[in-house]
Structure 1
């Protein structure tokens, strides 16, 4: 009888201890500090080929002018009045190069120089000095140009290797005007004149918009549109026979709408913009 009574008593004791121990363990677990948060992933570094670059460009320009002005430079000046019949220039091919610097992933600057091949100029006017005489002067010549610009560009982001950009530039344009002839027609049939070569340098400015493509890590291909204002070109003094006024022609506001392609070679390996580095978290220590 005593042995049987001991067994139920032992079972009740074990049950009581278990009931008391489980809340104690739960309370001890509640007192532990929460685990530290997982570290944020490292940002991907932005890679670009920084520093100096060389460029070569070529293209075709649709050339236009505001107007040509005939100025009498005789001594003493003679009255001269005319009505313009035709005033035009032909288009130009051009080729050039330059050196630049990639300041950061979105800003770059460069200095460029280019040679613009010969353009033909033609000016036809009816002489109105003495009324409607029916006398016409047909004047023509050729000029080529050298243009130097300092440019700045803003790159507008890159998608699938393609980077659109905009920019602006200022500089100078040097025009060399030669081969000027003046022929008379109508009532002035048989009249003929020539003008000597003349050089002129003036202010120039440009606006750019285009697309760049990363051919390799260090080579960029560009296709762009450019508006270029080259100021004015001036002929030498045109003299003719029989007696006529000595005349200088000023071709004002030469404007080019250029389509151009080019390559840029960036020196050095690509440079990564510094990314934020996170220190590893301390080891997790638990105390019970």
Structure 2
């Protein structure tokens, strides 16, 4: 019995000594987990847009043609009806405030209207009434600046330059002084174009953003084919459309092509 007491006492002393030594050792900290990297605002994106145009033209010219004594004041009601806009594009976001894209769009046929009051030596002798339609293919390189985000809404401004292929279709000139009608075949003309943008963007998901935007665009000039009169006679004259502009309202969607990063949460640490 005495030997058993000695054995229990020795065992207890050994355990106490080991516990004291462990208490003197430094406690290892829990494994550190680095925070997720900051959000990457850059990356490629696709875009699609629809909208409506509100178009105008400054004046109509007939190059190299003038009848002595004939005066034609500014055309009354000269302009175009509204038409649909359908566009696509690809772009790149460089950071959280600057992005750029290349866009191409078809601008649907818009009806032409206009009326000239024709005078000869100061006396009104009749009218020229214009009919037809206009459409375009517009290609732009655009750059945008995002102005900050409030309640998930980001206002932006931008500018673009490019080319527009302006097509005049079904042109007719109903001329009452000569009791005649002139018409021209469809014709297309490439012209320098530029645009100014302003709008609001709303991020629906990490990869999808919708836009409501206003755009002023200068489409350059257009031209008809050679005019032919009612009897089939032509002198090779054309009607030039000078300074075609439009104020557009568009609804767009941007889709990010960059994968959305997913971070695994750190493991739970519990006290044993």
Q: In which range does the TM-score fall when normalised by the shorter chain?
A: 0.7 to 0.9
The reply to whether residue 61 of structure 1 matches residue 53 of structure 2 is yes
Query: Unaligned regions of 5+ residues in structure 1, if any?
Result: 1-41, 273-288
Report the alpha carbon displacement of residue 266 of structure 1 after superposing the two structures with TM. 0.4
- 1:174-253 map, 5 Å: 174-185=165-176, 187-189=177-179, 191-241=180-230, 247-253=237-243
Instruction: Give the root-mean-square deviation of aligned CA atoms.
Output: 2.6
Alpha carbons of 1:145 and 1:264: their partners in 2 closer, same or farther (altered >3 Å)?
Answer: same
Indicate if the aligned counterparts of 1:136 and 1:188 stay in contact, CA closer than 8 A. Answer: no
Other-structure match for 1:52: 44
Q: Provide the C-alpha distance between the structure 1 equivalents of 2:67 and 2:60, rounded to a whole number of angstroms.
A: 19
- 1:110-121 map, 5 Å: 110-121=101-112
The Cα offsets for residues 11-40 of structure 1, whole Å up to 9 and x where unpaired, read as: xxxxxxxxxxxxxxxxxxxxxxxxxxxxxx
Report the alpha carbon displacement of residue 150 of structure 1 after superposing the two structures with TM. 0.2
Between 1:239-248 and 1:196-205, the stretch displaced more is 239-248
Indicate if the aligned counterparts of 2:164 and 2:190 stay in contact, CA closer than 8 A. Answer: yes
Report the alpha carbon displacement of residue 85 of structure 1 after superposing the two structures with TM. 4.3
TM-score of the pair, normalised by structure 1: 0.71
Larger radius of gyration: 1
Q: Provide the C-alpha distance between the structure 2 equivalents of 1:244 and 1:129, rounded to a whole number of angstroms.
A: 23
- The count of corresponding residues between Structure 1 and Structure 2 is 226
Indicate if the aligned counterparts of 2:226 and 2:235 stay in contact, CA closer than 8 A. Answer: no
Q: Provide the C-alpha distance between the structure 1 equivalents of 2:144 and 2:223, rounded to a whole number of angstroms.
A: 32
Q: Provide the C-alpha distance between the structure 1 equivalents of 2:39 and 2:151, rounded to a whole number of angstroms.
A: 14
TM-score of the pair, normalised by structure 2: 0.75
Query: Unaligned regions of 5+ residues in structure 2, if any?
Result: 1-33, 263-272
Indicate if the aligned counterparts of 1:48 and 1:271 stay in contact, CA closer than 8 A. Answer: no
